[in-house]
Amino acid sequence: MLVAPEPGEKARVDAWLETELADYGVTALTYEKAVAGFRRDARNTALTIALIEGLLALVAAVALAVLDYILMSQRQREFGLLHALGYQRLSLVWRAVQETAYTTATAWGISAVVCLSGLLYLQLRVFVPRGLQIDLLNPLPWLFTLPIPVAVFLASGATVARMLGRLDPVSIVERRT
């Protein structure tokens, strides 16, 4: 049943619907209940996406930290020689972290361009013909993409710093490793 209140009586009619009809086992869907349900669903969806994104970021960070450790282990002689030539450990760590940051930022940028082109295609071919529109400039969906590159950057930086912290340039110059 659809109930339309007189002007100025909406709050009183909503309260009556929610209290009186509840005694008869009837559910009244008022505007406030609909908005509250929508907000609850939106919050649950955002939380689910955030949890999935966090899990993906963790898996990507661990996988890339392992790969970065293997790469830096293969470059141990290079870093040992540079350290023996007078480069400070901190500058070597900064150099490796910059390489990781550049690679991560490039990968994120390429994936953002691919995603944007796919969204533009969907906008033009699917949504506009149906009278709908996607807000491509909304920053919230783009913020959900940032945890993965940040986690990868931090994990790789920590891995490199740990590996270079244990580096012995003398043994590398004398070719003992």
DSSP output for 87-121: --HHHHHHHHHHHHHHHHHHHHHHHHHHHHHHHHH
Long-range CB contacts (within 8 A, 24+) of 132-138: none
Per the CB < 8 A criterion, the answer to whether 149 and 56 are in contact is: no
First-residue to last-residue Cα distance in the chain: 82
pLDDT at 176: 61
pLDDT in tens, 73-101: 788 888 888 888 888 888 888 888 888 88
pLDDT at 177: 52
Name the E strands within 4-117.
Answer: none
Low-confidence stretches of the chain (pLDDT < 50) are none
Per the CB < 8 A criterion, the answer to whether 28 and 18 are in contact is: yes
